[in-house]
Chains A and B, each alone.
Chain A
Amino acid sequence: EPEVTQTPSHQVTQMGQEVILRCVPISNHLYFYWYRQILGQKVEFLVSFYNNEISEKSEIFDDQFSVERPDGSNFTLKIRSTKLEDSAMYFCASSAADTPSNTEAFFGQGTRLTVV
């Protein structure tokens, strides 16, 4: 069964360092997303991406964050200068180009980012 894959599963980084989280969405999907979940809190939307551009972003997604689809299969989230509060589980998701009513999002296993 097709699935969204994320690498690495766990990343530890020093405060102020840049990190890149990687995702391979399901191959025929056209909408891509990043969400995050701080420990004990709700899953929060960060950004959606379609047709090689950001279609929506939340207030969390400030200029320290960026996304890219560098080739036909990968989708990345970059955090330029990590802060302690960026520590969270980051989920990549994708969905097919259906209508909004029947769009179903499929999530990866997540990357646990720990900023020390």
Chain B
Amino acid sequence: KQEVTQIPAALSVPEGENLVLNCSFTDSAIYNLQWFRQDPGKGLTSLLLIQSSQREQTSGRLNASLDKSSGRSTLYIAASQPGDSATYLCAVRPRGGSNYKLTFGKGTLLTVNP
């Protein structure tokens, strides 16, 4: 059974710092991996999608990498801003079954202090 773990559970950084969020998954048989942002009490906003054949994806100040064989992904946020404060969720789409469901980690709560 696929398990997704995110470390650290919480992270507090000063504004302007570059930071890395980590995600690991137990089964490398995945189709893709998605990073989401969740603001308190709100929905999930898709940030980046990395297909299993890709190594990284970039969007603005965000860069996500994927090492499928070792079951790891990282989300790099450059020049962090207070508006980046949120919970960041990692989710994988496992092979098998309907092939379309996502398995989520518990998230990393990021606080960027002005």
A100 contacts chain B at the CB level, 8 A cutoff: yes
**A101 with B43: CB separation less than 8 A:** no
A77 smallest CB distance to B (angstroms):
15
**What are 24 residue pairs bridging A and B, where the CB atoms are less than 8 Å apart in the complex?**
A31-B100, A33-B101, A42-B105, A42-B106, A43-B44, A45-B103, A55-B100, A56-B98, A56-B101, A93-B44, A100-B31, A100-B93, A100-B95, A100-B100, A102-B49, A102-B51, A105-B100, A106-B46, A107-B44, A107-B45, A107-B46, A108-B43, A110-B42, A110-B43
CA distance A102 to B57 in the complex (A): 13
Q: Is the CB of B32 within 8 A of A101?
A: yes
Q: Which 3 A-B pairs rank lowest in CB-CB distance, beginning with the nearest?
A: A56-B98, A109-B43, A107-B44
B69 at the interface (CB under 8 A from A): no
CB distance from B114 to the nearest CB of A (A): 27
State whether A103 and B98 are in contact (beta carbons under 8 Å apart), knowing that A43-B91, A112-B41 are contacts in the complex.
no
A75 contacts partner chain B, Cβ-Cβ < 8 Å: no
B51 touches A101 (CB 8 A): yes
Which interface class (under 10, 10 to 19, 20 to 34, 35 or more) fits A?
20 to 34
Contacting A at CB under 8 A, from B1-42, are 31-32, 34, 36, 41-42
Chain A residue nearest to B51 (CB atoms) is A101
Q: Find out whether the CB atom of B106 lies under 8 angstroms from the CB atom of A103.
A: no
- List the interface of chain A (C-beta within 8 A of B): 4, 6, 31, 33, 35, 41-45, 48, 50, 55-56, 89, 91, 93, 95, 100-110, 112
Given contacts A101-B53, A102-B51, A107-B36, whether A45 and B46 have CB atoms under 8 Å apart is no
Closest to A103 in B: B100
Give the shortest distance, in Å, between B113 (CB) and chain A (any CB).
Answer: 23
B32: nearest chain-A partner, CB-CB: A101
Residues of B with C-beta under 8 A to A4: 43
B45 to chain A, nearest CB (A): 8
Does A105 lie within 8 Å of B102, measured CB to CB? yes
